[in-house]
Amino acid sequence: MTKKVMVLMGGFSSEREVSLQSGKSIATALKNKGYEVIIHDLKDTQKLIKALNTHKPDVVFNALHGNWGEDGTIPALLDLLQIPYTHSGMSASCIGMNKYLCKLIAEKANIKTAFGRKMTAKEFITIGATVARPFVVKPVSDGSSVGVFIVNNPEDIFKIRYNDPETELIVERYIPGQELTVMCYQGKAHVVTELKPKDGFYDYEHKYTSGETFHVLPANIPEDATKTCLAYAETMHNKLGCKTVSRCDFRYNPEDGVVFLEINTHPGMTALSLVPEQAKYIGVSYEDLCQNLVEEAACRILK
């Protein structure tokens, strides 16, 4: 019997457009694999629930990015509705989206992180000028480098704007060196990619604009650094209880070694995304990757 898969994309976050790109590619791949595919652009939660009741999908492919999609909200809803879904569950998604909690978990697992602290946007404007530069400012809960700033000069502080003064931020030491990323697939990390932006750092624009970032696969780093990246990625994947696929980002230089930045429990699936590229490197096609996510879909069983 053919499985019916709803590809859930779009959503309410700042990453809506990228989610739509991912969703369209996923839908095409799943159709090519013989699944019955329903596409749903999430704009209204009541319409989503109505669509789920009408179509009764066997699996929801969670192609949402950012808040609501990656932070555990959609997994929690699907758990309650008892509809299996792709990627990680509510707990892993919620923790993975929270960079501060991930930082604490990494440190407890003896994974090196950058020195820093959590504060509100209001606190940052008050004391930011006293923090030793260069440093990085990023929202505690957001994805795709949205709202990330590198502060090199005092005037940079006043260029930073957050709509809500109570927005939680992480302010941490800037780690110079190579930008690295590792996919963990079915509990195993295989290869490290280096990301080389044409200019600046690997921000939202460089991630999703063709030609703005060069991918070096495998990364040109010492063997011990490669092993550390792979071990760190597997540790974070398993500590959070991630399912099927996740991606961890790191910085590396000879003095600091490998430094963990964050984990993504719902990595992008666009033409420029890193997980499909690493999957292809280890012999897993884009279509097979999508199929495996569907076949391993699950939800928490209500007892």
What residues are labeled active site? 15, 144, 208, 247, 249, 262, 264, 268
Q: Are 171 and 157 in contact (CB under 8 A)?
A: no
Contacts of 203 (CB under 8 A, 6+ apart): 145, 148, 197
Alpha carbon distance 151, 286 (integer Å): 38
Q: Give the position of tokens 């019916």.
A: 4
Alpha carbon distance 234, 157 (integer Å): 36
Q: CA nearest 111: which of 103, 101, 119?
A: 103
Task: DSSP for 225-248, please give it.
Answer: HHHHHHHHHHHHHHHHT--SEEEE
